[in-house]
Amino acid sequence: MRTQLDELKTHALADIANAQDTAALRDVEVACLGRKGKLTGVLRGISSLPAEQRPLAGKLANEVKKALEAAIEARRVTLKDREQQALLRDEEFDITAPGQKPLVGHLHPVTQVQYHVEDVFRSMGFYVLDYPEVETDYYNFEALNIPKDHPARDMQDTFWLTDGHLMRTHTSPGQIRAMEQFAPPFKAVFPGRCFRYETVDASHEHTFYQVEGLMIDEDISVAHLISSMKTLLTQIFERDMNVRLRPGYFPFVEPGFELDIRCLMCGGNGCSVCKRSGWVELMPCGLVHPNVLRFGKLDPAKWSGWAFGLGLSRMAMMKFGIDDIRLFLGGDLRFLTQF
């Protein structure tokens, strides 16, 4: 074994010394130390030696490996310096020309808004929770007061799996899961991705992002909801927002509302984003329906709460002045690098 290692070391050192550029040196390195290299083969063969010879053989092999690694690194430094000097002597090389700037990634615009929303709610004492994207019919519909024969299901045509599960159509299933997980009073938000099988246009996508909010306590009123929403929108858009609260029907809240904001794309004059109305529907909200509280194993005679479902994708459109939601999932770096 010693003779074999000595011969391998001698030949390898000679090959290292004879390498004339970094590419040739890399070939030598792979031939000696790569997965199928000569020294690697020797190391694998140690297990076939008698037990009393293995410690010494392993020690000698590691010494050779360290010697070769040191020789390769020293030769690499020498070759890189030589290549650099040759480049500097090249009359066509312009030392003042800017180098190639490495590409650096950054957060997606929707993710930026999501993190901002999470920070705002954390500052108000909310938990930030994460729940499954693949849901059961019970959590996605039944426990949210949407039984199988309810017409609200027609508005949430979704992607069903062969085992009876589905891709969640909203982040609202987190309401039931949170009520099962935490003893009241508590307040939490749960952001995430949602899926609906619907026609794609400038303001609708088959895959989009929401954040659900839930507060459970005694004697909760609509005033608590409006105060929290005002705080959120002021922090996100860094200005006083023109909002309106209008009645809206959602099976999991009673009373239910639609919270709209004045369209920031057109200033309320009407555009494709706001469907020429001057207002953008931002979030359904309301007081948690007593049936939903019962599904969450809470007594509606004692506990009450508010809930909302905020469209993160639409909020990102308003914040950054984006007029087509399809750009978020388009994968076009010309769009993403602007953020």
Decide if 279 is inside a domain.
yes
With pLDDT > 90 as the criterion, what percentage of the chain qualifies? 28
Decide if 98 is inside a domain.
no
**Does pLDDT of 274 surpass 90?**
no
**Does pLDDT of 49 surpass 80?**
no
- List the one residue out of 213, 228, 232, 211 whose CA is nearest residue 110: 211
Confidence of residue 131 (pLDDT cuts 50, 70, 90): very high
Distance CA 307, CA 310 (A): 10
Confidence of residue 38 (pLDDT cuts 50, 70, 90): confident
Decide if 95 is inside a domain.
no
User: Residue 104: its pLDDT value, please?
Assistant: 80
| Residue 170 sits in the same domain as residue 300 | yes
User: Residue 1: its pLDDT value, please?
Assistant: 62
| Residue 141 sits in the same domain as residue 229 | yes
DSSP state string for 97-123: S--PPPP-----HHHHHHHHHHHHHHH
Peptide bond into 191 cis (omega under 30): no
Domain boundary, last residue among 35, 58, 89: 89
CATH number for 175: 3.30.930.10
CB 292 within 8 A of CB 282: no
Distance CA 315, CA 308 (A): 14
Decide if 117 is inside a domain.
yes
| Residue 65 sits in the same domain as residue 125 | no
User: Residue 112: its pLDDT value, please?
Assistant: 92
| Residue 179 sits in the same domain as residue 323 | yes
Decide if 143 is inside a domain.
yes
Decide if 102 is inside a domain.
no
CB atoms within 10 A of CB 150: 13
User: Residue 284: its pLDDT value, please?
Assistant: 86
CB atoms within 10 A of CB 97: 6
Place of tokens 């909002």: 243
Domain boundary, last residue among 59, 89, 119: 89
Q: What domain count does the chain have?
A: 2
| Residue 186 sits in the same domain as residue 289 | yes
User: Residue 312: its pLDDT value, please?
Assistant: 87
Distance CA 221, CA 286 (A): 9
| Residue 195 sits in the same domain as residue 321 | yes
The set of residues, in sequence order, having a beta carbon less than 8 Å from that of 267 and lying 6+ positions away, is none
Decide if 33 is inside a domain.
yes
Tokens representing residue 213 in the block: 């909010």
- List the one residue out of 216, 203, 225, 177 whose CA is nearest residue 276: 203
| Residue 139 sits in the same domain as residue 223 | yes
**Does pLDDT of 6 surpass 90?**
no
Place of tokens 């996605």: 140
Decide if 25 is inside a domain.
yes
User: Residue 101: its pLDDT value, please?
Assistant: 80
Q: Report pLDDT digits (tens) over 138-168.
A: 999 999 988 888 877 777 778 899 998 999 9
| Residue 38 sits in the same domain as residue 116 | no
Domain boundary, last residue among 55, 89, 123: 89
| Residue 237 sits in the same domain as residue 271 | yes
CB 225 within 8 A of CB 306: yes
Q: Report pLDDT digits (tens) over 215-272.
A: 999 989 888 888 888 888 888 878 777 778 888 888 889 889 988 888 877 877 888 7
**Does pLDDT of 202 surpass 80?**
no
Average pLDDT over residues 30-34: 83
The set of residues, in sequence order, having a beta carbon less than 8 Å from that of 178 and lying 6+ positions away, is 127, 129, 186, 188, 190, 214, 296
Q: Report pLDDT digits (tens) over 278-310.
A: 887 778 889 999 999 999 999 999 999 999 988
Q: Report pLDDT digits (tens) over 305-339.
A: 999 988 888 888 878 888 888 888 888 888 888 88
CB atoms within 10 A of CB 166: 19
Strands (E), the chain: 127-128, 134-135, 166-167, 186-195, 207-217, 243-247, 253-262, 279-288, 304-311
| Residue 72 sits in the same domain as residue 195 | no
| Residue 82 sits in the same domain as residue 15 | yes
Own/partner pairs, 144-153, CB within 8 angstroms, 24+ separation: 144/172, 144/173, 144/175, 144/176, 144/251, 144/252, 144/292, 144/295, 145/251, 145/252, 145/289, 145/291, 145/292, 145/295, 146/251, 146/252, 150/251, 152/250, 152/251
Domain enclosing residue 289, as ranges? 109-336
**Does pLDDT of 4 surpass 80?**
no
| Residue 58 sits in the same domain as residue 200 | no
The set of residues, in sequence order, having a beta carbon less than 8 Å from that of 47 and lying 6+ positions away, is 54
Highest mean pLDDT among 41-50, 88-97, 278-287: 278-287
